[in-house]
Amino acid sequence: MERKTRIPTQKRALEKYNRVLEAAYKLFNEKGYYNTTTADIAKEADVATGSVYAYFEDKKNIYIKIIENLNEKFIYPTHNFWVENVDKKLNNPKEAKELFKLFIKMMIKNHDFSKTFHDEMEALTLLDEDIAMIRREQEKRRDENIADIFRVLSIPFKGEEEKNIFFHYSFFIIDDLCHKIIYNDEMKDMDLCIEKCVNMLYCLFEDCTDYINK
């Protein structure tokens, strides 16, 4: 799909462009993708409907730009967090667990979208090839980013298999925890859940490396 998003350069036009994205994100979270129209977005952003089409081809184009922006919000903070903490000793259980805890809390904070938005994004990935393509591109960038983090941290995994195990399992553990904490109203003790997740991550990390003092 050739996306026709035109990002303006002039200040006033850029402000209007960003208002459209912010309004769309708000409505997609509140009402859902299918229950939101381009006219709704224009009204929420306080711009003419024609102004929306000046920058975006259609509602799906707006949605794709939003999920691209969401991906950027996760990639750069993740990379920067580990680069800034590169001097911390991951072979020290106390320091490693504290880093995992801080990282998890950062990820929870970044999960600021509703369950409606999350569920529809997963469904649209299965139903719409354009969105599926964007998600695949994002997964590729995520993998490249994680590989670079491993390089920066100089983590000597025993092999490629161990590295992949740590990456994929840690990603799903953290992602699942974020969803449980944010979307599960019955979650009563967030700190306890984070602590258990940290212990699981450290055990996995310990199993996948050969320089931890056992």
State whether the Cα torsion 86-92-97-102 is positive or negative: negative
Average of per-residue pLDDT across 59-70: 95
Burial of 2 (0-12, 13-18, 19+ CB in 10 A): exposed
Q: What is the pLDDT of residues 179-201, one digit of tens each?
A: 888 888 777 788 999 999 999 98
| Percent of the chain whose pLDDT exceeds 70 | 94
Q: How far apart are CA 195 and CA 201, in angstroms?
A: 10
CA distances from 163 to 1, 78, 94, 186, 200 (A): 34, 17, 22, 34, 16
Say if residues 23 and 63 touch (Cβ distance below 8 Å): no
Residue whose entry in the numeric block shows the structure tokens 């711009």: 47
Domains and CATH numbers, the chain: 1-57 (1.10.10.60), 58-208 (1.10.357.10)
Q: What does the pLDDT read at residue 96?
A: 86
pLDDT band of residue 210 (cuts 50, 70, 90) is low
Q: What does the pLDDT read at residue 213?
A: 43
Query: 172: phi > 0 → left, psi -120 to 50 → alpha, else beta; which?
Result: alpha
| 209 DSSP 8-state letter | B
Q: Is 179 helix (H, G, I), strand (E, B) or coil?
A: helix
Least confident of 41-55, 99-113, 145-159: 145-159
Q: What does the pLDDT read at residue 4?
A: 54
Q: What does the pLDDT read at residue 32?
A: 96
Q: What does the pLDDT read at residue 79?
A: 84
Q: What is the pLDDT of residues 154-171, one digit of tens each?
A: 777 777 788 788 888 888
